[in-house]
Amino acid sequence: MTDLVEPGVAGPDGADPGPQERGRRVELASAGCFVVATLAALALAVVYWQGGQPQAEGVLLALTLGGIGTGIVLWAKHFMPTDEVAEDRHPLESSEEEIAEFAADFEAGQSTLASRRILLATAGGACAALGVALVFPVRSLGPRPGRGLKETPYKNAPIRVVVESGDPVRPADLEIDGFITVWPEGYTDAADASTLLIHFRRDQDFQPRPGREDWTVDDIVAYSKLCTHVGCPVGLYQAQLGLLLCPCHQSTFDVMQGARPVFGPAARALPQLPLAQDDDGFIIATGDFSAPVGPGFWDRGR
Amino acid sequence: MSELATPGPPKRRRGPEHLLTHRLARWVDSRLGTAKLARTALNKVFPDHWSFMLGELGLYCFIVLVLTGVYLTFFFSPSLNTVIYQGSYGPLRGVEMSEAYRSALELSFDVRAGLVMRQIHHWAALLFLASLGVHLARVFFTGAFRRPRELNWIIGCTLLILAMLNGLFGYSLLDDQLSGTGLRIVYSITLSVPLVGTWLASLLFGGEFPGPDIISRLYVIHILLVPAVITILLTAHLAILVRQKHTHFPGPGRRDDNVVGERMWPTYAAKALGLFFLTSALLAFLGGVFQINPIWIYGPFDPAEVSAASQPDWYMGWLDGALRIMPGWEIRAFGFEIPNPFFPGVLLAGLTFTLLYAWPFLEARVTRDHAEHHLLDRPRQRPVRTALGMATIAFYTVLFLGGAADVLGATFGLSVNAILWTFRFLCLLAPPVVGVVTYKLCKEMSARDGVPTASRVTVREIPRRLRHGEERDEAERESPALRS
């Protein structure tokens, strides 16, 4: 910052020699703003003392800050110099001589070294090794992904499905066109195991995928509730059309055709859960989902 | 100085030198030589234009964010331990929730002035990003990013990314239904990165979604790491601005080798201080009167539930829209796959910011203009740049609207599918149309001004003479058409 100001090149003298009266009024207005700010600040303290009220706090704080701000701006606009000045720009670049002088200073002492290259190379190597070593603790942040993304607690099948309260489900619990969210028994906290049971109508032309003809129980089909797009719960069922809709990004799945995606960004069908009934008539899962649930990842197919 | 150093006989006159402030200033000056430095600072010249305040607005929002944010940290507890809510908000009493969500509720209902602070904080974040966005547009359309200001452009882009991320992290901390849904999407986008996605997601979240550690980690990132980096970069941004001096618009007496404007002291400083107070006043008013992020309505996060019309904060809207507009494509080969969210969530975002960072260098290369510029362009003088900028804005606006497709559908009684299909076409059609219209408008407007546009004038700015401090040639300096 060696620049010096070279005043008075441009701009007329901004001081307005207007009538004294106008200046007096602005002065009063500015002072008025500060008074309003003071009163509002005191009122703010009182409101807080009385137990607080968010709207009143916001408005009074706004009045306080706004009063100070307006007062300052009025003051600045009317009573402070507005003359324009021009300041020269000086070249940002260093001159060749300056660069040469810098280089000389920077390189000072190197002549006393027999071989700087060896020192630089080994020092650089040590720093690189330090960098590599310091990366390793990142590994502590989380477990190896492993099979977790490809499995759900349904791998313990056969296992009953239960609603959130832990109660098992009979086919009769679901009315036609109805749907409920279930989990494997004992795992109602498992985020990757939420499952939709949907009771479709006989007239809806349900077409089971090949090999899954016996995966339904009394017109009840089960799909993973996690959208194959980014894993939002597929929470909306349009029973008339037999469509499941994800409210996050509008992916739509056709329940009658293996929950294949028919609209939106999802590219894969919702994985299906094989269902059966146990001896007590409760719905059970006979295996894990037909595919890894939820969003895709690099080695999902491996 | 010498008066203080050598105590003479006490003076009777009580001049200004006996004021405490005066003596204190003398004390400091005798140890640091501050008067010399301060005088340079006071006389710093700031060109006056309303658009130069936009970045300043962002700075003030950041100050408000830090002040309100510190207050919030005194009460918020970033823990996923399960608790039963027993606070003063009736509808949720007895509900099982995380410690984080409970402390956010208590902060809103039971801590006096807590709600207003939380809402000011959130509004300040929204306005912070808005100021940065508009400031970026101003710098772009006026060519203020050109040499020598590429460094500040890069710092500015980094600040924008950090601000966006920290906004997202901030509202993800509360562990309400909406923020949990947002985190789920963050997790899935992280997961979608080829090769390393599963590892990245596992390391960031401490395991499979929802992950035991994510809230406490995001907390440290949100309140410490990112604000610290923002503060450092902001300081560098301003230091570079001081070093390089401000740009100014063309006008009488304004050249590439000077800077014309007000001195910093007193008028400019007072106006800036006033603007800070007025910005804070606006934020206080918004935070007091307009409800924002009412987490008690969303309820605690339950991974099996989602509310309809889940929308992120506005500055993430373009990404959410891109996720929606993207057709259902995935690439699968050799047993590996590139999941769908990769394209909008990683590729598009990556391209967006790479192009943003690279713009000054791309433009300099294409126009072969590597000279220093301190005089700003008017947007109409650079029809190609302006058209490309407007086309880009059109693209991201369509994406942003796409993020509201379900709300638009519900509001206007339209099919969401039809709206999304419209946006799919629009995000391809709108940019060229807007670009061409802008180009024609620029040409038309500058023809009306009688000012030739850049395409017809070879602009060779002052380079060599000025850089090497040689004497400036008055006649040559005034010749380029842009100065008229």
Q: What is the pLDDT of residues B133-143, one digit of tens each?
A: 999 999 999 99
Residue B483 has pLDDT above 70, yes or no: no
User: Which residue's entry shows tokens 């700015």?
Assistant: B461
Integer Cα distance of B173 and B186 in angstroms: 13
Q: How many residues does chain A have?
A: 302
- The widest CA-to-CA distance across chain B, in whole angstroms, is 95
A144: buried, middle or exposed (CB in 10 Å: 19+, 13-18, 0-12)? exposed
pLDDT value for B1: 39
CB A178 within 8 A of CB A199: yes
Integer angstrom CA distances of residue B17 from A99, B6, B14: 45, 15, 8
Q: Residue A61: closest CA among chain B residues belongs to which residue?
A: B284
Of A223-237, B162-176, B279-293, B303-317, the least confident: B303-317
Does the N-terminal peptide bond of residue B250 adopt cis geometry, omega within 30 degrees of 0? no
User: In sequence order, what are the residues at sequence separation of 6 or more whose Cβ sits closer than 8 angstroms to the Cβ of residue B426?
Assistant: B398
Structural domains for chain A: 1-107 (no CATH), 153-285 (2.102.10.10)
B95: buried, middle or exposed (CB in 10 Å: 19+, 13-18, 0-12)? middle
Residue type present at position B93: R
pLDDT value for A301: 84
CB A286 within 8 A of CB A301: no
Best residue in B200, B213, B340, B419 to probe A by mutation, most A CBs within 10 Å?
B340
Tokens of residue B221, six digits: 């990132």
CB A284 within 8 A of CB A276: yes
CA angle centred on B83, ends B81 and B88, rounded to 5°: 135
Using DSSP, state whether A196 is helix, strand or coil.
strand
* Alpha helices (runs of H) in B110-174, residue ranges in sequence order: 114-141, 150-172
Identify any residues that bridge with A277 across adjacent strands, giving them in sequence order.
A283
pLDDT value for A111: 65
The pLDDT of B195-224, averaged and rounded, is 94
- Taking one residue from A and the other from B, the number of pairs with CB-CB distance under 8 angstroms is 308
Best residue in A48, A49, A84, A96 to probe B by mutation, most B CBs within 10 Å?
A84
Q: Tens place of pLDDT for every residue, chain A, 302 residues?
A: 333 333 333 334 445 556 688 889 999 999 999 999 999 999 999 999 999 999 999 999 999 999 999 999 999 999 998 888 999 998 889 999 999 999 999 887 666 667 778 889 999 999 999 999 999 999 999 999 888 899 999 999 899 999 999 999 999 999 999 999 999 999 999 999 999 999 999 999 999 999 999 999 999 999 999 999 999 999 899 999 999 999 999 999 999 999 999 999 999 999 999 999 999 999 999 999 999 999 999 998 88
Residues 56-95 on A with a CB inside 8 Å of B are 56-59, 61-66, 68-73, 75-77, 80-93, 95
Residues in chain A closer than 8 A to B338 (CB atoms): 298
The DSSP letter of residue A16 is -
A232, B310: Cβ pair inside 8 Å? Answer: yes
CATH 1.20.810.10, applies to B49-309+336-345+353-378: yes
pLDDT value for B460: 44
Q: How far apart are the CA of B441 and the nearest CA of chain A, in angstroms?
A: 33
- Residue among A57, A145, A232 whose CB faces B199 most closely: A145
B481 vs B229, more confident: B229
Integer Cα distance of A233 and A236 in angstroms: 9
Using DSSP, state whether A83 is helix, strand or coil.
coil
Integer Cα distance of A232 and B312 in angstroms: 14
Helices B226-244 and B150-172, axial angle in degrees (round to 10): 160
Q: What is the mean pLDDT of chain B?
A: 90
Tokens of residue B414, six digits: 């339209």
- Residue among A164, A247, A296 whose CB faces B306 most closely: A247
Residues in chain A closer than 8 A to B80 (CB atoms): none
pLDDT value for B466: 43
Integer Cα distance of B270 and A78 in angstroms: 11
Q: How far apart are the CA of B211 and the nearest CA of chain A, in angstroms?
A: 9
DSSP for B29-42?
HHHH-HHHHHHHHH
A230, B341: Cβ pair inside 8 Å? Answer: yes
A68, B282: Cβ pair inside 8 Å? Answer: no
CB A33 within 8 A of CB A67: yes
B406, A72: Cβ pair inside 8 Å? Answer: no
User: In sequence order, what are the residues at sequence separation of 6 or more whose Cβ sits closer than 8 angstroms to the Cβ of residue B143?
Assistant: B373, B376, B377, B382, B385
Identify any residues that bridge with A220 across adjacent strands, giving them in sequence order.
A199, A217
B113, A87: Cβ pair inside 8 Å? Answer: no
Q: What is the pLDDT of residues B333-374, one digit of tens each?
A: 888 999 999 999 999 999 999 999 999 999 999 999 999 999
pLDDT value for B9: 54
Report ipTM for this prediction: 0.89
Domain ranges of chain B: 2-41, 49-309+336-345+353-378
CB A131 within 8 A of CB A237: no
Best residue in A48, A61, A225 to probe B by mutation, most B CBs within 10 Å?
A61
Residues in chain A closer than 8 A to B408 (CB atoms): none
B303, A230: Cβ pair inside 8 Å? Answer: no
Query: How many other CB atoms are found less than 10 A from the CB of residue B244?
Result: 17
Residues 173-232 on A with a CB inside 8 Å of B are 181, 191-192, 194, 225, 229-232
- Residue among A85, A93, A302 whose CB faces B335 most closely: A302
Tokens of residue B160, six digits: 């924008």
Tokens of residue B165, six digits: 């991320």
The pLDDT of B169-190, averaged and rounded, is 94
Q: How far apart are the CA of A62 and the nearest CA of chain B, in angstroms?
A: 4
User: Which residue's entry shows tokens 């003051």?
Assistant: A75
User: In sequence order, what are the residues at sequence separation of 6 or more whose Cβ sits closer than 8 angstroms to the Cβ of residue B405?
Assistant: A250, B321, B324, B416, B419, B420, B423
The pLDDT of B173-191, averaged and rounded, is 94
pLDDT value for A218: 93
Tokens of residue B327, six digits: 């057709």
- Residue among A10, A56, A143 whose CB faces B207 most closely: A143
Q: Pairing mode, if any, of strands A195-199 and A236-238?
A: unpaired
User: Which residue's entry shows tokens 């086919």?
Assistant: A171
Residue B474 has pLDDT above 70, yes or no: no
User: Across A3-7, B164-168, B261-265, which has the greatest mean pLDDT?
Assistant: B164-168
pLDDT band at B3 (very low <50, low <70, confident <90, very high): very low
Q: How far apart are the CA of A240 and the nearest CA of chain B, in angstroms?
A: 16
CB B423 within 8 A of CB B405: yes
CB B402 within 8 A of CB B321: yes
pLDDT value for B468: 43
Residue A249 in contact with partner chain B when CB distance is under 8 A: yes
> How many CA atoms within 13 Å lie on the side-chain side of A8?
0
Tokens of residue A119, six digits: 């020192």
- Residue among B112, B336, B468 whose CB faces A51 most closely: B112
Q: What percent of chain B has pLDDT over 70?
A: 89
Residues in chain B closer than 8 A to A57 (CB atoms): 113, 116, 288
